[in-house]
């Protein structure tokens, strides 16, 4: 359920017509709905009722500080994977004590900054990272709260680029090495072992891989406790999928019940790191048709948004539903068109869509663009980053301004040996 709905034939974000925002800020732009963000957070939180749970929103899905702050106000913590994301979470009002620091390549500077800020826990992904963290923490005189991220060698059955829990993936400590890494952690200065972390991938559409991975973690906790390690936290990651094109992912309630079933009796505080589930359907990318080109095979609808603004279709072959902002008149037929951007890459396409054929100047809304959308944007083809707009009831605010080409050029330097004399 989201709050992007037609009213008298026009797509609204809550109380605000998308066409009005387009007139005010120009296209393309991302638009987020506060009510949708809040709803998704609450539904997930309610699904965990009865567990001693902490929800740490995975900031990388959508890291705009207004989005993080919206969730922080509801009690969300944050899962961050860089010091930049940590700063965002802190600026957005997430207390350090609710920030989990994840990531496969933390630098010493990032470790030091996280420790000084006093984050809840650092999720360590390898034996050498543990040694480095021990050195950094000892030199600061701070004990690092540490969970080891384990790799359960479970296939998440998702797109290969977002599967993270197989033994061939770069993430986590390989299953056979886990007991040894915990033993080492217990012996190292500056390290305080608090828990076990696992995250097997993203856009997961079945409970089975979660159940398998969490079951293995439960067995592991038994083994680790028997070896004398104090395991207080379980971090079960994110990854629950959402519908983009009619998929039927498990509901948060089904997911919550499975978790209660598998790990409910462990006497641990359980952290969750949902990203996509919270923000995906809370955002659209609004774009204007530049022109329609009749190809030999089909019509190409060339729009002013492109792969640099929303990378998912070309990166993951992902499908996003595209709808007209002004509904076509009754009786207009859908035809197959391909919606493409202006970039000089064949991969710059939003895919084939069944749409009433749009005309030049029409607005389209690319749906389910709130997660892994704006955060993955680049400036390829010198296309400046587009604005992000947040709606809250009848209120609208630009929460990130459009970058201009002049802003971009101002950061580049023409060497004086090239200056014409």
Ligand X SMILES: *Cc1c(COP(=O)(O)O)cnc(C)c1O
Q: Is 22 in the site for ligand X (CB under 6 A)?
A: no
Confirm or reject binding of residue 72 to ligand X (CB under 6 A).
no
106 binds ligand X (CB under 6 A): no
Q: How far is the CB of 78 from ligand X (least distance, A)?
A: 11
Question: Nearer to ligand X by C-beta: 280 or 313?
Answer: 280
Among 98, 106, 216, 276, binds ligand X (CB under 6 A): 276
The residue among 195 and 358 lying less far from ligand X, judged by its C-beta, is 195
Q: C-beta of 276: minimal distance to ligand X in Å?
A: 4
Q: Pick the binder of ligand X from 277, 305, 318, 321 (CB under 6 A).
A: 277
Nearest distance in Å: CB 189, ligand X: 26
**Candidate residues 2, 14, 38, 79; the one interacting with ligand X per rule CB under 6 A:** 79
Pairing outcome for strands 233-235 and 191-197: parallel
Under rule CB under 6 A, residue 172 binds ligand X: no
- Binding of ligand X by 252 (CB under 6 A): no
Single out the residue of 273, 304, 348, 388 in contact with ligand X (rule: CB under 6 A). 273
Q: Which tokens in the block code for residue 58? A: 């995975």
Binding residues for ligand X, total number by CB under 6 A: 15
Q: Which residue among the candidates 31, 56, 268, 344 is catalytic per the annotation?
A: 344
CA dist 3 → 32, 37, 390 (Å): 9, 9, 12
Instruction: Please report the sign of the dihedral spanned by the C-alpha atoms of residue 362, residue 247, residue 33, residue 385.
Output: negative
Q: Which listed range, 36-44, 172-180, 213-221, 274-282, lies at the site for ligand X (CB under 6 A)?
A: 274-282
Candidates 91-99, 231-239, 244-252, 373-381: pick the segment binding ligand X (CB under 6 A).
231-239
Active site residue 344: yes
Q: Quick check: 313 binds ligand X (CB under 6 A)?
A: no
237 closest CA partner among 220, 221, 214, 264: 214
Tokens of 139: 């030199």
Query: Is 129 near ligand X (CB under 6 A)?
Result: no
Tell me how far, at minimum, the Cβ of 275 lies from ligand X, in Å.
Answer: 3
DSSP label at 326?
B
Find residue 149's DSSP bridge partners: 197
Query: 237, 249, 250, 373: which one contacts ligand X (CB under 6 A)?
Result: 237
77 is a site residue for ligand X (CB under 6 A): no
| 77, two tokens | 């913590």
Which residue, among 184, 259, 275, 257, has the nearest Cα to 224 in the 3D structure? 184
Q: Measure the CA–CA gap between 186 and 228, rounded to whole angstroms.
A: 9
Q: Per rule CB under 6 A, is residue 238 in the interface with ligand X?
A: yes
As a whole number of angstroms, the distance between CA 276 and CA 76 comes to: 15
* Rounded distance between C-alpha atoms, residue 395 and residue 136, angstroms: 46
Q: Which of 209, 274, 324, 373 binds ligand X (CB under 6 A)?
A: 274
For ligand X, which is the closer residue by CB, 196 or 302? Answer: 196
| 281 is an interface residue for ligand X by CB under 6 A | no
How far apart CA 297 and CA 156 sit, in angstroms, is 37
Measure the CA–CA gap between 162 and 244, rounded to whole angstroms: 16
Question: Given the complex with ligand X, which of 164 and 353 has the nearer CB atom?
Answer: 164
Should residue 275 be labelled a site residue for ligand X when binding is judged by CB under 6 A?
Answer: yes
Backbone CA torsion sign across 357, 360, 363, 367: positive
99 has which bridge partners?
78
Residue 222 C-beta: closest distance to ligand X, Å: 24
Nearer to ligand X, 38 or 79 (CB): 79
Q: Which residues pair with 144 in a beta bridge?
A: 191
Please tell me the distance from the alpha carbon of residue 346 to that of residue 391, in angstroms, as a whole number: 34
Burial class (CB in 10 A: 0-12, 13-18, 19+), 30: buried
User: How far is 57 from 55, CA to CA, in rounded Å?
Assistant: 6
Tokens of 417: 């040996």
Minimum CB separation from ligand X for residue 319, in Å? 17
Q: Is the dihedral of CA 100, 103, 105, 110 positive or negative?
A: negative
Is residue 202 near ligand X by the rule CB under 6 A? yes
Total residues belonging to the chain:
421
52 to 71: interface string for ligand X, x by CB under 6 A = ------x-xx----------
Which listed range, 213-221, 268-276, 308-316, 358-366, lies at the site for ligand X (CB under 6 A)? 268-276
199 binds ligand X (CB under 6 A): yes
In 3D, which of 101, 18, 9 has the Cα closest to residue 369? 18
Catalytic machinery residues = 344
Interacting residues with ligand X (CB under 6 A): 58, 60-61, 79, 102, 199, 202, 237-239, 273-277
């Amino acid at each position: 359920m989201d709050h992007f709905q037609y009213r008298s034939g026009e797509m609204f974000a809550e109380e605000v017509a998308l066409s009005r925002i387009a007139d005010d800020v120009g296209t393309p732009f991302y638009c987020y709905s506060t009510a949708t963000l809040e709803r998704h957070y609450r539904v997930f939180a309610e699904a965990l009722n009865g567990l001693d749970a902490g929800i740490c929103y995975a900031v990388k899905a959508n890291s705009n500080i207004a989005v993080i702050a919206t969730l922080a106000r509801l009690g969300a913590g944050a899962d961050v994977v860089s010091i930049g994301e940590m700063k965002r979470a802190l600026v957005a009002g997430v207390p350090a004590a609710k920030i989990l620091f994840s990531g496969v390549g933390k630098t010493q500077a990032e470790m030091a900054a996280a420790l000084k800020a006093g984050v809840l826990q650092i999720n360590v992904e390898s034996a050498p990272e543990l040694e480095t963290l021990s050195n950094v923490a000892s030199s600061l005189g701070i004990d690092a709260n540490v969970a080891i991220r384990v790799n359960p060698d479970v296939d998440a059955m998702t797109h290969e680029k977002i599967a993270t829990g197989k033994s061939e993936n770069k993430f986590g400590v390989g299953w056979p090495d886990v007991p040894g890494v915990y033993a080492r952690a217990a012996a190292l200065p500056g390290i305080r072992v608090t828990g076990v972390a696992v995250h097997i991938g993203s856009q997961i559409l079945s409970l089975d891989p979660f159940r398998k991975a969490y079951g293995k973690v439960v067995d592991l906790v038994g083994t680790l406790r028997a070896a004398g390690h104090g395991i207080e936290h379980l971090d079960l990651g994110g990854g629950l999928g959402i519908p983009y094109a009619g998929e039927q992912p498990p509901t948060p309630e089904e997911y919550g019940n499975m978790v209660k079933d598998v790990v409910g009796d462990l006497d641990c505080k359980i952290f969750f790191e949902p990203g996509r589930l919270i923000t995906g359907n809370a955002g659209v990318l609004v774009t204007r048709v530049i022109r329609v080109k009749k190809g030999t095979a089909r019509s190409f609808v060339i729009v002013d948004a492109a792969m640099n603004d929303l990378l998912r279709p070309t990166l993951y072959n992902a499908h996003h539903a595209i709808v007209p902002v002004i509904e076509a008149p009754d009786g207009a037929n859908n035809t197959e068109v391909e919606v493409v951007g202006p970039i000089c890459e064949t991969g710059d396409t939003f895919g084939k869509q069944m749409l009433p054929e749009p005309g030049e100047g029409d607005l389209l809304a690319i749906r389910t663009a709130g997660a892994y959308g704006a955060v993955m944007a680049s400036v390829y083809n010198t296309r400046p980053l587009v604005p992000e707009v947040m709606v809250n009831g009848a209120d609208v605010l630009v929460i990130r301004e459009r970058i201009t080409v002049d802003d971009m050029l101002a950061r580049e330097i023409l060497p004086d040996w090239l200056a014409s004399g």
